[in-house]
Chain A
Amino acid sequence: MSAIKITNLRKEYKDKAAVKNLNLTIEQGELFALLGVNGAGKTTTIKMLSCLIKPTSGDAELLGHSIVTQPIKVKERINVSPQETAVAPNLSVSENLELVAGIYGNNKFDTKKKAEEMITSFGLSDIAKSRAKTLSGGWQRRLSIAMALISEPQILFLDEPTLGLDVLARRELWNIIRKLKGKVTIILTTHYMEEAESLSDRIAIMTNGEIKAIGTAEELKKQANKDNFEDAFVTLVEKDGAL
């Protein structure tokens, strides 16, 4: 069974189609990147797949469950790290982790145990008792991803996970994401070409609500006849007249 099977997924806002009849299959354990300029439809796609908004037409099955008819079953199996850091500001690091474990239905014992495990594996021990609002952007983002993983999702959506982070914090998060490869299906959206090239198994380039190119980073460079991935991206997007 595929992790995600998207069939004719479409989202319209008034007269404008943000996503146009998307068809895509993503296998389990794959790290799949969605690239595109602003307004290409990446975030709308992720919002539909994570059951945050309803598609105008079409459907997607996540691990065999429809986002249209079985949203709760889908939500039990996924988690999201939103574009902006999503933490409860007045709660400590450990309380934030316990909150997410709790709202995914874990009992008190499992909640504590999982929070401790995440604190250890994400190197959060020194700040476990600190309130989230007192942490730097890098630590907040790290906590936000730990919160997305504590529910042990089979599919993880990372929306611009390294936006606004310095180079060191970004590299640290890349290492964390690399460790998840193969264990969790990850859908990554990013504006950083280097990030997509370095981390992803496959990359889809979206423009105007449609997938214009799909493949590994090497396949896309070959398709655009470029040595550099950023140049390949620009070529493939410009081909559509989107820039």
Chain B
Amino acid sequence: MKTIAFASRNAKEILRDKQNLYLGIGFPVILLLLLTAIQSNIPVDIFEIEKLTPGIAVFGLSFISLFSGMLIAKDRTSSFMLRLFTSPLTARDFILGYTLPLLPMALAQVTFCFIVAIVLGLSFNLNILLAIILLIPATVLFIGLGLLCGSIFTDKQVGGICGALLTNLCAWLSGTWFDLDLIGGVFKAIANALPFVHAVDMGKAALARDYSASFLHFWWVCGYAIAIMAIAVFVFTHKMNSDNV
């Protein structure tokens, strides 16, 4: 009951901020429409709808990190956190309370992105459902990144780190905007060591019915999701038990 009460509050706080909705749903959809329009006039292999959609879906998830990070950082730097920390809420209640409302939001965002893609010509089949399900660890990864940033930084810093740095990292190192083979070298090695390109390639492989490739990338993303979430939980719990909330 305690966790549900807290999670319900967090859902309301995020959903009632209209800027969140515009950025989280509107911006990825605008990008999808824009790049599809470019593709229809100047065909580029990488912007074909079945290759572009997973990239935009993963890019959209970076805004989930921004929402969660901002909410936690704002709570942390206000007296409201003092009220919460003097209540019987445990570290488990806090982490679940921040994470649970974001999971359905992130999944809804990914699903909406695929629905728009179907309208734009993505052929409708069960592989879309598989791609959405496989992206669940990616949603956990981005929520974890938000929890981690919100536990360490102020809301202004989270705005810069998640709003600018993470979205750009996710955009440039995911292979959505250009083929990583075109640059190659260290850039490609860094991109392959990070989870973003694997999340996108996992979605692309699922849509292309290349299930073995899809699951290979899936484990990369799962590993990162577990590691980032574990670090986020450790940092949040450490902060909660320290003198400097």
A-side residues, CB < 8 A to B, are: 13, 50-54, 72, 75-76, 78-80, 82-91, 95, 98-107, 111, 147-148, 151, 157
Contact of B79 among A72, A75, A84 (CB under 8 A): A84
Highest count of chain B CB atoms <10 Å: which of A79, A90, A100, A107: A90
Contacts of B90 in A (CB 8 A): 72
**Contact A86/B78 with A103-B84, A103-B87 known, Cβ cut-off 8 Å:** yes
Question: Is the Cβ of A90 less than 8 Å from the Cβ of B13?
Answer: yes
Contacts of B86 in A (CB 8 A): 50-52, 75, 78-80, 157
Q: Is B185's beta carbon under 8 Å from chain A?
A: no
Q: How many residues of B contact A (CB 8 A)?
A: 27
**Contact A105/B88 with A90-B13, A91-B13 known, Cβ cut-off 8 Å:** yes
Give the total number of A-B pairs whose CB atoms are below 8 A apart. Answer: 83
Question: Is the Cβ of A86 less than 8 Å from the Cβ of B12?
Answer: no
Question: Is the Cβ of B82 less than 8 Å from the Cβ of A95?
Answer: no
Question: Is the Cβ of A13 less than 8 Å from the Cβ of B6?
Answer: no
How many Å lie between the Cα of A167 and that of B155 in the bound state? 34
Instruction: Select from chain A the residue with minimum beta-carbon distance to B244.
Output: A53
Instruction: Select from chain A the residue with minimum beta-carbon distance to B15.
Output: A90
Q: Is B4's beta carbon under 8 Å from chain A?
A: yes
How many Å lie between the Cα of A72 and that of B102 in the bound state? 27
A161 to chain B, nearest CB (A): 12
24 A-B interface contacts by CB (under 8 A): A50-B86, A52-B82, A52-B245, A53-B243, A54-B243, A75-B86, A76-B88, A79-B86, A82-B79, A83-B79, A84-B78, A86-B78, A86-B79, A88-B13, A90-B13, A95-B9, A95-B12, A100-B83, A102-B5, A102-B6, A102-B8, A103-B5, A104-B88, A111-B5
B209 to chain A, nearest CB (A): 44
Question: Is the Cβ of B87 less than 8 Å from the Cβ of A90?
Answer: no
Question: Is the Cβ of A103 less than 8 Å from the Cβ of B245?
Answer: no
Closest 10 CB pairs of A and B: A102-B5, A86-B79, A84-B79, A82-B79, A86-B83, A90-B16, A82-B82, A50-B86, A80-B86, A75-B88
Question: Is the Cβ of B1 less than 8 Å from the Cβ of A102?
Answer: yes
Question: Is the Cβ of B87 less than 8 Å from the Cβ of A75?
Answer: yes
How many Å lie between the Cα of A54 and that of B86 in the bound state? 12
Q: Is B156's beta carbon under 8 Å from chain A?
A: no
Question: Is the Cβ of A80 less than 8 Å from the Cβ of B2?
Answer: no
Q: Is B17's beta carbon under 8 Å from chain A?
A: yes
How many Å lie between the Cα of A170 and that of B1 in the bound state? 35
How many Å lie between the Cα of A14 and that of B229 in the bound state? 32
A191 to chain B, nearest CB (A): 17
Contacts of B243 in A (CB 8 A): 13, 53-54
**Contact A103/B89 with A90-B12, A91-B12 known, Cβ cut-off 8 Å:** yes
Contact of B88 among A72, A95, A101 (CB under 8 A): A72
How many Å lie between the Cα of A95 and that of B13 in the bound state? 11
Known interface pairs A83-B79, A103-B84; 9 further A-B residue pairs with C-beta atoms within 8 A, sorted by A's residue number = A53-B243, A78-B86, A82-B83, A91-B13, A99-B9, A103-B2, A103-B93, A105-B1, A105-B88
How many Å lie between the Cα of A91 and that of B15 in the bound state? 11
Contact of B83 among A53, A80, A102 (CB under 8 A): A80
How many Å lie between the Cα of A151 and that of B84 in the bound state? 13
How many Å lie between the Cα of A86 and that of B82 in the bound state? 8
**Contact A52/B85 with A72-B90, A86-B78, A102-B1 known, Cβ cut-off 8 Å:** yes
